[in-house]
Amino acid sequence: MLIRYFFTLKSNTCNSRLLYLSYFFILPLFLFNFSGFAQKNNKLKTIIVDAGHGGHDSGATGDYENSLNSQEKDITLAISLKLVDALKEKFPDLKVIPTRTTDVYQSVTEKANIANENNGDLFICIHADYGPTKSGRRQVGTHTVKNYHVSYLGKGKKKKKITTPYYVEEPIYDYFKMPLGRNGTSVWIFAAHKTSDKLKAIMSESGQSESEYQVEAIADSSFSKINFSTPEGKVIAQVYAKRYQEKSELLARLVNVEIEKTSRPALGVNQRQVGIWVLQATKMPSILIETGFINNQEDEIYLNSENGQLEIVNSITQAVLRYKEHIENN
């Protein structure tokens, strides 16, 4: 399997010495990761649920004024534990495996390894988003400042400097972080070339460019610096796309449809080429759900509430049900 892919890819695209060498050192690692997939049938047997972040990697924090100060790692864990329970209840015959059930740190490699070692057929990552904040200020009082007025008396050698003090009242400001204006749930899949029109519209409303948005996302620990615009990066992306993209996209769309049925904004299915590492490192269809914005007040309260968590879990479970029916009957 590995060897066949190696030569197919090589004969198609290899021109330079550098690229040729990269096949020896880089591609085998990735192709090995993918090599277990081809023989599987379409029966859904094992779902991996990943609670994003954990331990000293707390992810994003609700840090605006009067926020709950909640941490992404706690929200992702709470939602993931509920999701595991809900999936087990709905599908008693399926294996549902969480990457973590406590507040422990896991690198994205560890997370991907857990998914691969357990031969997952589906990988669902739970995260919470964070948008760029603005600072506000308000006057909380005044204080008296002593200034000096300078004047001169006389001329030549007799010239004398006279400083006269005077007092002014100056405002005292309190600076604070404002909550993010937008809220909603977005779903991400790996390795294509566009951001949903909905999210694009939101980004342009807030005066934020797509590239700025992506820079923020890359700061998330789930995102790596693999450059998919390099020749070898493109091949890796193509291999992933060929095998898992269609199913990843199907599940992502179904999740978005279920979110649309709730009262919160569904921000669409988004595809990002610049590395959602944990998604492309798993040899199975994978999605990442940004459940809501932790620094939006409404979303932060929702994400920390029992009802909010259960509503998101229900949306995902319904989407998995429809996904399962679709792939097993086609």
Beta carbons of 253 and 267 less than 8 angstroms apart: no
CB of 51 to Zn ion, least distance (A): 10
Using H for helix, E for strand and C for coil, what is the string for 54-111? ECCECCCECCCCCCCCCEHHHHHHHHHHHHHHHHHHHCCCCEEEECCCCCCCCCHHHH
Instruction: Residue 251: name the closest of 323, 330, 175 by CA.
Output: 323
The whole-angstrom separation of Cα 299 and Cα 257 is 19
**Residues touching Zn ion: how many (CB under 5 A)?**
4
The whole-angstrom separation of Cα 327 and Cα 324 is 5
Contacting Zn ion (CB under 5 A), which of 52, 120, 131, 179? 52
Residue 219 has, within 13 A of its CA and on its CB side, a CA count of 13
CB of 290 to Zn ion, least distance (A): 7
CB of 262 to Zn ion, least distance (A): 21
Nearer to Zn ion by Cβ, of 52 and 184: the residue is 52
220 binds Zn ion (CB under 5 A): yes
CB closest to Zn ion, residue no: 127
Nearer to Zn ion by Cβ, of 168 and 219: the residue is 219
Q: Which stretch binds Zn ion (CB under 5 A): 25-33, 124-132, 231-239, 304-312?
A: 124-132
- Considering only residues 127 through 146, tell me which ones interact with Zn ion, judged by CB under 5 A: 127
Nearer to Zn ion by Cβ, of 121 and 290: the residue is 290
Dig out the tokens for 181 from the structure: 């204006």
Nearer to Zn ion by Cβ, of 220 and 258: the residue is 220
The whole-angstrom separation of Cα 7 and Cα 30 is 15
Binding site for Zn ion (CB under 5 A): 52, 59, 127, 220
